[in-house]
Chain A
Amino acid sequence: MTDIAGFIAKYGYQSLFLCLFLEAIGLPIPGAVALLAAGAAVAGGAMRLVIALPVALLATLVADTLLFLAGRYSGWSLLAVLCGLSLSPEGCIVRSAKWFYQRGRLALLFAKFIPGVNTMAPPLAGSMKMRPGQFLRLDMTGALAYILSYGAVGFLFRDIFRALAGGLQAFSRTAEWLIGAGVVAYIAYRIWLYGKHRPDRLVPRVPVSEVAARLKEQPLRPLVIADVRSHGYYDPGAQRAQGSIRLEPNNLDQALPSLPQNAPIYLYCT
Chain B
Amino acid sequence: MGEATSARVARILREKGFDAYVMVGGLKSWRKAGLPTERVPESDVELLPSFN
Binding site for B on A (CB under 8 A): 76, 84, 89-90, 93-94, 97-98, 101, 105, 125, 127-131, 197, 199-209, 211-212, 225-229, 232-243, 246-247, 249, 252, 256, 259, 261-270
Which residue on B lies nearest to A234, using beta carbons? Answer: B48
Contact B7 A128 (CB under 8 A): no
Residue interface mask B12-29, A partner, CB < 8 A = 1: 111011111111111111
**In the complex with contacts A203-B11, A241-B30, A267-B6, A129-B20 CB distance below 8 A:** no
Contact B5 A236 (CB under 8 A): no
Tell me whether chain B's interface is mostly helix, strand or loop, or mixed. Answer: mixed
Binding site for A on B (CB under 8 A): 1-14, 16-30, 32-33, 35-40, 42, 44-52
Tell me whether chain A's interface is mostly helix, strand or loop, or mixed. Answer: mixed
When distances are taken between beta carbons in the complex, the residues of chain B under 8 Å from A90 are 5
Instruction: Compute how far the CA of A225 lies from the CA of B23 in the bound complex, rounded to whole angstroms.
Output: 9
When distances are taken between beta carbons in the complex, the residues of chain B under 8 Å from A228 are 5-6, 9
Instruction: Compute how far the CA of A98 lies from the CA of B47 in the bound complex, rounded to whole angstroms.
Output: 11
Contact A239 B38 (CB under 8 A): yes
**In the complex with contacts A199-B11, A200-B8, A241-B37, A208-B18 CB distance below 8 A:** no
Contact B7 A268 (CB under 8 A): no
When distances are taken between beta carbons in the complex, the residues of chain A under 8 Å from B13 are 252, 259, 265, 267
**In the complex with contacts A128-B49, A128-B51, A267-B6, A204-B27 CB distance below 8 A:** no
Instruction: Pull 19 A–B residue pairs with CB atoms less than 8 Å apart, ordered by A.
Output: A128-B51, A200-B7, A203-B7, A203-B20, A205-B24, A206-B23, A207-B24, A207-B25, A208-B33, A209-B33, A233-B46, A234-B48, A240-B37, A252-B9, A252-B13, A264-B19, A267-B9, A267-B21, A267-B22
**In the complex with contacts A197-B4, A261-B18, A234-B24 CB distance below 8 A:** no
A249 CB contact (under 8 Å) in B2, B5, B27, B51 = B5
When distances are taken between beta carbons in the complex, the residues of chain B under 8 Å from A94 are 48
When distances are taken between beta carbons in the complex, the residues of chain A under 8 Å from B25 are 207-208
**In the complex with contacts A128-B51, A208-B30, A208-B35, A256-B16 CB distance below 8 A:** yes
Instruction: Compute how far the CA of A69 lies from the CA of B18 in the bound complex, rounded to whole angstroms.
Output: 41
